[in-house]
Amino acid sequence: MINKINALLDEIRDLTAHNADELEQLRLKYLSKKGAVSALMDDFRQVAAEQKREIGQRLNVLKTEAQDKFNALKVSLEDHSDAGSELDLTRTAHPYHVGTRHPLSIVKHEIETIFARLGFSIAEGPEIEDDWHVFGSLNFAEDHPARDMQDTFFVQHGADTLLRTHTSSVQTRVMEKTPPPIRIICPGRVYRNEAISYRAHCFFHQVEALYIDKNVSFADLKQVLMFFAKEMFGSDTKIRLRPSFFPFTEPSAEMDISCNLCGGKGCPFCKHTGWVEILGCGMVDPNVLENCGIDSKIHSGYALGMGIERITNLKYQVKDLRMFSENDVRFLKQFEAAT
């Protein structure tokens, strides 16, 4: 009997009730005439006379504790409902502003996802670079005219520290450290010393892709370009490659896609040609591989690079590049649905 009383006492001490219904259930289970405490009171009649005194005392403790516990739970529930009654549930909620992703982040993420599905992983490198990684390793000769094409910000005049003008520098950093096969994309910010206008800015963003392995051919490159264009701009998109020149690729090409506004028929956006340029690409020049310690007789590869602002413009027709860096909420909010 004593054990039973102690067990019930422990049980009662641990009770909780979250609402009036639960409290009533507890009352019925423990305190009502048919409850657990009354049941023990009934058992008390059978207790031998010499034990009655001790067990009686314990039963009284149990009864009072049970009643006290019930009262305490009741009071704490009433406290809460009092607080609740001060709330005006009919009052209009404060407007809740959720931020939106920046359009460049949305598009960058889309590009990353497409390449991830082809097995490319993401590589990053520093924005403050040296001449070797931005130019030298990429086959720009000391007096190469292509160096003039890049209006570079030098961090210290005459010093070897500059802001990278393209994310191709990350290619070199990865190739120097990683043996092939290499399959990476390098998204990031780049800097050029340009006068700021609606069509040029002193910083913008690029994504570079690089694949180095045995027997990589131009056909592999073309396949990836076609896949990317269709995934990004729709399955009707056509591509065309025009011969071009970059010091770090040979042969080099520029890729156009059929204008995604007029479907290739010709409109002011594509200057009535039906085509818009979206990226540069080519087979990695053997000199670049050798510069990074990769044997060009065994390995070959392709690279491609695109501007994220350019791709975003094609998707969303943002006419003024400056919008991307001004943080005007009225502009950014328009991308809520795409986030």
Considering Cα of 284, then 287, then 292, then 297, what sign does the dihedral take?
positive
Q: Is 282 in the site for ligand DAH (CB under 6 A)?
A: yes
Q: Is 30 in the site for ligand DAH (CB under 6 A)?
A: no
Task: Report in angstroms how near the CB of residue 192 gets to ligand DAH at its nearest.
Answer: 9
The single residue among 207, 224, 239, 281 that binds ligand DAH, judged by CB under 6 A, is: 281
The single residue among 208, 256, 285, 309 that binds ligand DAH, judged by CB under 6 A, is: 208
Identity of the residue numbered 263:
G
Spell out, one character per residue from 88 to 127, where the chain touches ligand DAH: x when CB under 6 A holds, - when not: ----------------------------------------
Q: Is 285 in the site for ligand DAH (CB under 6 A)?
A: no
Spell out, one character per residue from 75 to 94, where the chain touches ligand DAH: x when CB under 6 A holds, - when not: --------------------
**What is the radius of gyration, based on Cα positions, of the chain?**
37
Going from the C-alpha of 170 to that of each of 124, 137, 159, 173, 326, the distances in angstroms are 6, 11, 20, 5, 27
Task: Report in angstroms how near the CB of residue 244 gets to ligand DAH at its nearest.
Answer: 8
Nearer to ligand DAH, 249 or 312 (CB): 249
Burial letters 48-71, b for 16+ CB under 10 A, else e: eeeeeeebeeebeebeeebeebbe
Burial letters 251-276, b for 16+ CB under 10 A, else e: ebbbbbbbbbeeebeeeeebeeebbb
Nearer to ligand DAH, 168 or 237 (CB): 168
**Closest of 19, 21, 16, 24 to residue 81, by C-alpha:** 19
> For residues 152-191, which are near ligand DAH according to CB under 6 A?
166, 168
Question: And the tokens for 206?
Answer: 């690029």
Task: Report in angstroms how near the CB of residue 253 gets to ligand DAH at its nearest.
Answer: 8
Task: Report in angstroms how near the CB of residue 322 gets to ligand DAH at its nearest.
Answer: 20
Task: Report in angstroms how near the CB of residue 299 gets to ligand DAH at its nearest.
Answer: 16
Nearer to ligand DAH, 8 or 162 (CB): 162
Task: Report in angstroms how near the CB of residue 216 gets to ligand DAH at its nearest.
Answer: 13
Spell out, one character per residue from 232 to 261, where the chain touches ligand DAH: x when CB under 6 A holds, - when not: --------------x--x------------
Question: And the tokens for 156?
Answer: 């210290």
**Closest of 134, 187, 184, 146 to residue 309, by C-alpha:** 187
Question: And the tokens for 253?
Answer: 């090409």
| Three-state SS at 192 | coil
> For residues 286-325, which are near ligand DAH according to CB under 6 A?
303-305
Backbone angles phi, psi at 149, to 5 degrees: -65, -30
Residues 6+ apart with CB under 8 A from 297: none
Nearer to ligand DAH, 169 or 258 (CB): 169
- Which residue is at the shortest CB distance from ligand DAH? 305
Give the CA dihedral 48, 53, 56, 58, nearest 10 degrees.
-120
> For residues 37-76, which are near ligand DAH according to CB under 6 A?
none
Task: Report in angstroms how near the CB of residue 103 gets to ligand DAH at its nearest.
Answer: 21
Binding interface with ligand DAH (CB under 6 A): 166, 168, 208, 246, 249, 280-282, 303-305
